[in-house]
Each structure stands twice: as structure tokens, then as C-alpha cells.
């Protein structure tokens, strides 16, 4: 049972070739390309409104120096939302349930914010390792603790996204299996279970969007500390 539950998180292969690269590039193909018409379609207008609103909210805590990251962070947000949402479809693979992919996204971006802080304002960046007014005997301990908390940030970003999506997929599979098994013996209980499954699916849609937003928001806060 355990193997069958976690089989859905294995990267699919075709002729020995991992298909995770196809799963990563597919979201970009689904977005409509801009047209030369004076008036866009409703879908393009809705997409443009969403991107503009999100970019405005994203740039609120950032100073002018961090506005050059707007295109990268907005693209990352759309990329994560699309992959998370496509993973909720039946018989699909969710690349963001792989810790390796999430760490591959989180670590370079976090490292870039740290390097920017060390280059632009090294004194301020190193000052985060020692809070002001710390008693003398606690200085070595606090430096070690703050250094560990700094280096654990990309791991926390990747594990948070992976754990939330994995837990949601497991719950959906467990409840759907229970509803299918109970359908012949206890139809009423199976109907109630199916209702819970629908509500859980709606919750997972919200989680897919919220986790992508939290991932990018935390990167924005890390960037603000170092800009």
C-alpha cells in the first residue's frame, strides 16, 4: 500500500528518459502569445490584469533597487502556480513535489540575494548575524544560531513547498480510494466521502496558489533585507 501511494511522486519515464523536463516546459506552452490586435481577448486581458496586480503587490515591500527583480519573480510565480495546478489533474505528474526541483529553484535565488547584500552593503548584511544589544557572553552562540538560520532558508523554502503539495496529493488519493471501496458496501458513507473529496480538492487548488505566492513572497523579503 505504501509503495502504491508514493508511486505518484516518481518521475515518469519513457524509454528510460525522465519526462520531468517535458512536465516543466509544458506550462509555458499553455500561455497565450500576445497578438497585434488593438483589443485582446478576455483571457489575455484577465492574464494581464492578474500579472499587473501581482507585480504591484510584490513590489510594495521592495525599494527601487529591488524592482529589477520584478520580471523574474513574477515569471517564477506564474510558473509555480501553473505546475501546481496542472498537478491536480488526473493522471498527471507534479514536478514541484520533487524536493530536488524546489531546492534547485530556491538555492540559487536565495544565494543571489545574499551575494547582493554582501556586495552592496556588507556591514548591514553581516549585522543581521548579531542583533543589537546582545550581551557579551551570548555573542558567539547567537552568531552560530543566526548563521544556521541564514543557511537553512533555502531548505525551508523547498521543504515547505514539497511537503504541502505532497500531503495534499496523499490526502486526495486516500480519500478517493476510500470512496471507491465504500461505494458498493456503504453508498451513503461513500457519498459523504466524495463530498469531502470535492471540498478537499477545492482546498488543494487554494493551497497550490498560496504556496506559490508564499515561495515568491519569502524570496522578496530575503531580497529586501539585502537591497
Give the per-residue pLDDT at 155.
92
Give residue-wise pLDDT tens across range 171-212. 888 888 888 888 888 888 889 988 998 999 999 999 999 999
CB within 8 Å of 180: residues ≥ 6 apart: 190
Per-residue pLDDT of 26-38, as tens digits, reads 777 777 676 777 7
Q: Model confidence at 4, in pLDDT bands (50, 70, 90)? A: low
Reply yes or no on whether the pLDDT at 215 is more than 90.
yes
Better-scored residue on pLDDT, 79 or 21: 79
Residue 107, CA atoms < 13 Å, CB-side half-sphere: 8
What are the b/e assignments for 143-178, b being 16+ CB within 10 Å? eeeeeeeeeebbeebbebbbebbbebbebbeebbeb
> How confident is the model over 5-24, as pLDDT tens digits?
666 667 777 677 677 777 77
pLDDT attached to residue 107: 93
- Nearest-Å Rg of the Cα atoms of the chain is 22
Closest CA to 85 of 208, 168, 216: 208
Q: Using 50, 70 and 90 to split pLDDT, how confident is the model at 106?
A: very high
Determine the average pLDDT of the residues in 84-104. Answer: 84
More confident: 141 or 134: 141
For 117-131, 136-150, 187-201, which range has the lowest pLDDT when averaged over its residues?
A: 117-131
The rounded mean pLDDT for the chain is: 82
CA-nearest of 103, 106, 79, 107 to 23 is: 79
Q: How far apart are CA 116 and CA 108, in angstroms?
A: 12
Its pTM stands at 0.82
* Alpha carbon distance 95, 21 (integer Å): 9
pLDDT for 1: 45
The x, y and z cell numbers of residue 225, run together, are 533585507
Range from 6-15, 67-76, 129-138, 203-212 carrying the lowest mean pLDDT = 6-15
* 47 has a pLDDT exceeding 70: yes
Amino acid at each position: 500500500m505504501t509503495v502504491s501511494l508514493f508511486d505518484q511522486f516518481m518521475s515518469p519515464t519513457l524509454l528510460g528518459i525522465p519526462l520531468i523536463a517535458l512536465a516543466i516546459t509544458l506550462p509555458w506552452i499553455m500561455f497565450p502569445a500576445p497578438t497585434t490586435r488593438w483589443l485582446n481577448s478576455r483571457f489575455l486581458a484577465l492574464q494581464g490584469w492578474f500579472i499587473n496586480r501581482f507585480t504591484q503587490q510584490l513590489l510594495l515591500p521592495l525599494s527601487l533597487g529591488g524592482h529589477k527583480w520584478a520580471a523574474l519573480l513574477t515569471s517564477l510565480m506564474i510558473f509555480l502556480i501553473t505546475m501546481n495546478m496542472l498537478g491536480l489533474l488526473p493522471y498527471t505528474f507534479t514536478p514541484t513535489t520533487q524536493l530536488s526541483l524546489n531546492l534547485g529553484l530556491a538555492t540559487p535565488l536565495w544565494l543571489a540575494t545574499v551575494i547582493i547584500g554582501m556586495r552592496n552593503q556588507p556591514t548591514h548584511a553581516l549585522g543581521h548575524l548579531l542583533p543589537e544589544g546582545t550581551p557579551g557572553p551570548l555573542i558567539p552562540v547567537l552568531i552560530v544560531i543566526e548563521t544556521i538560520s541564514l543557511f537553512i532558508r533555502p531548505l525551508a523554502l523547498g521543504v515547505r513547498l514539497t511537503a504541502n503539495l505532497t500531503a495534499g496529493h496523499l490526502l486526495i488519493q486516500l480519500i478517493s480510494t476510500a470512496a471507491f471501496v465504500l461505494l458498493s458496501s456503504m453508498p451513503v458513507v461513500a457519498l459523504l466521502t466524495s463530498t469531502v473529496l470535492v471540498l478537499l480538492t477545492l482546498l488543494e487548488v487554494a493551497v497550490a496558489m498560496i504556496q506559490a505566492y508564499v515561495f515568491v513572497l519569502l524570496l522578496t523579503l530575503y531580497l529586501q533585507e539585502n537591497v
